[in-house]
Structure 1
């Protein structure tokens, strides 16, 4: 792969890392896809090792983020139905208020669902904070997986 191709792969990786943090793009998948493309085009032991590391890191992060977030929410007593309502309002918010609508809708939806369920402000707000903490956990876990894939790509670039 030439320098232009590697720069393009690097640009997609950067966009993917940004997408992981901002949660507007499927960042982990963009990083993995770019690194896998580089590894497949480069080939050889180094290329395919990078592909294996990227797939493994991204896959483990994808599973791990849901397990950790789910465990956190379960410990805090937040039911899945509350998250469904938060997610639905987040999707609506994404289209109504560009950029900030998704997180804003998620917070409002989670709070309203818990307020209706519990009929009090304090427990509803605690559930909303727990949902935001779980969201932060998912971002960190996905970012860790994407960074491992990025590091593997960097090592692959240095070796080839």
Structure 2
């Protein structure tokens, strides 16, 4: 098996893990995708590989930016402080280890609700704020995931061009 094939397979796996890392944020998914395709472009070489990397980098940067900007803007509109999201993240990570895989979203939701309940002192308002925050985070994640899939498709097209062209 030559280096081109091995690199393409390993980078394809890295892209798969990266896409999963966007949905279950244990790994920095978009960054993993970009680094994987950068390695692929270095190994494959040539203008086509670098064009593919540039397109992938644009998709990845767009996805990360859209996710951060849209989520941040919505959370700011709702006056949800960063510490609530930080506490949710910490409890999500703890939940991941207590209840593997499903503990991450359970811990995140519980942490967000607890932080908002502590801040607002009203269960109904805390749930409304938490639900709005979860929707904002979900929309940002969905946009980042769609752009990561476009990056994966671009990588696939690059492989088709390289191996069949």
Band of TM-score, shorter chain: 0.7 to 0.9
Q: Equivalent residue for 1:58?
A: 60
Q: 1:116 to 1:146 in 2, by over 3 A?
A: same
Q: How far does residue 143 in structure 1 lie from its aligned partner after superposition?
A: 1.0
Instruction: Name the count of aligned residue pairs.
Output: 160
TM-score computed with the length of structure 2 as normaliser = 0.85
Show the 5 A alignment for 1:2-81: 2-81=4-83
Q: Equivalent residue for 2:106?
A: 104
> Does the aligned pair in 2 maintain the 1:12–1:30 contact within 8 Å?
yes
> Does the aligned pair in 2 maintain the 1:35–1:150 contact within 8 Å?
no
Q: Equivalent residue for 1:129?
A: 131
- Secondary structure, in 3 states, of the residue corresponding to 2:27? coil
Name structure 1 gaps, 5 residues minimum: none
Q: Equivalent residue for 2:142?
A: 140
Distance in 2, Cα, partners of 1:88 & 1:34: 28
Q: How far does residue 18 in structure 1 lie from its aligned partner after superposition?
A: 2.3
Per mean C-alpha deviation after superposition, the further-off stretch among 28-37 and 46-55 is 28-37
Deviation readout 1:40-87 (Å, 9 max, x if unpaired): 211111001111112222122222211100111122232222212222
Q: Equivalent residue for 1:115?
A: 117
- Secondary structure, in 3 states, of the residue corresponding to 2:101? coil
Name structure 2 gaps, 5 residues minimum: none
> Does the aligned pair in 1 maintain the 2:14–2:33 contact within 8 Å?
yes
